[in-house]
Structure 1
Amino acid sequence: MKFGLAQYTSREVDKEAQFITSFSDNLETNFHNKAYGKDINEIIIGVICVSKDFEQFFKPKKPKYTKDKKNIKTEGFEYEIEKCLEYSIKIDFNEFKSANDELQRKKILSREILLSLSSLDSIKKKIKDFNWEQFKQDLENYFKERNLI
């Protein structure tokens, strides 16, 4: 299964948020060979961390499930998705910016990703063949092994 993060941050936290790409790459590597059912091939979580000035432009996206193949064209990129779950989470800008170090920011991100799973109840009805409990357990274990929760 593919699992990754899309980053939406304002320039005030560019330096603090540099780790998010490698954080996403590590999640992708960890979950690459895992399968939880036939209904999800990919999960993409948008991570929004913007200052108050930009909040109006970056609203969290509600969970969206694309079952059938779909071509996407956006910002000069073109790609195909199928059996894809997409949604976004909002990270508290002030908490993230004022965190002491990268480890603390990773802990904030890990916590918010895990909390976001509870917001998926409405979409779970559309996705029949997916082991949500095992996915959540594997994600928790991944974060625990890295001392992030």
Structure 2
Amino acid sequence: MRFGIVSDTNYEAKIDQVTNSFPSRELEDWLHFKNYGDDLECICIVLICRNPEYNFKQRIRMDKKTKTLYIDLMLDYNYFVSDITQKERINVVVEKLFDEVPKIVSKYKLKDFKSELFFSDLHKFTKKNGWF
């Protein structure tokens, strides 16, 4: 299983500090040999935190050929550019991740994907690595 988090944000939102603190390499290594089923091989999360005047909309796309699910997580720009701590930024991203992504995954008819096990493992990993 592959899982990645990238961002498309305004610099002022400091989302790069959130993604840089995410232990992506360790997660990639940890998930490499795990098998949650054949219907989904990769989840790619894009953190979107742009000025609302640009009217960015959430995109969700399943590529059946590569078995990859692409999900935009929309973050509140005004909140992220306010005077908040790095820990608060991380907490919001993690909450959105564990609140929205399982709901989105469940909307797809994936007969052979153990989503509960995957999200349980992801939760354990983020907690173990101090990201939750």
Give the alignment's TM-score, normalised by structure 1: 0.74
Alignment correspondent of 1:73 = none
Alignment correspondent of 2:78 = 94
Partner amino acid, structure 2, of 1:18: D
Listed one character per residue, the Cα deviations across residues 72-102 of structure 1 (whole Å, up to 9, x for unaligned) are xxxxxxxxxx111111111112222235322
Quick one: which of 99, 120, 134 aligns to 2:117? 134
Q: What pairs with 1:77-88 in structure 2 (closer than 5 Å)?
A: 82-88=66-72
Gaps in structure 1 of 5+ consecutive residues: 69-81
- Which secondary structure state, in structure 1, belongs to the residue aligned with residue 15 of structure 2? coil
Moved more, 92-101 or 136-145: 92-101
Partner amino acid, structure 2, of 1:35: N
Change (3 A) 1:138 1:66: same
Alignment correspondent of 1:76 = none
CA distance in 2, matches of 1:140, 1:43: 15
Aligned pair 1:119/2:119, yes or no?
no
Aligned pair 1:60/2:51, yes or no?
no
Gaps in structure 2 of 5+ consecutive residues: none
Change (3 A) 1:29 1:59: farther
Aligned pair 1:38/2:38, yes or no?
yes
Listed one character per residue, the Cα deviations across residues 8-48 of structure 1 (whole Å, up to 9, x for unaligned) are 102322xx222314526244344233221112221111111
Contact 2:10 2:49 in 1 (8 A): yes
Give the alignment's TM-score, normalised by structure 2: 0.83
Change (3 A) 1:111 1:99: farther
1:146 positional shift:
3.6
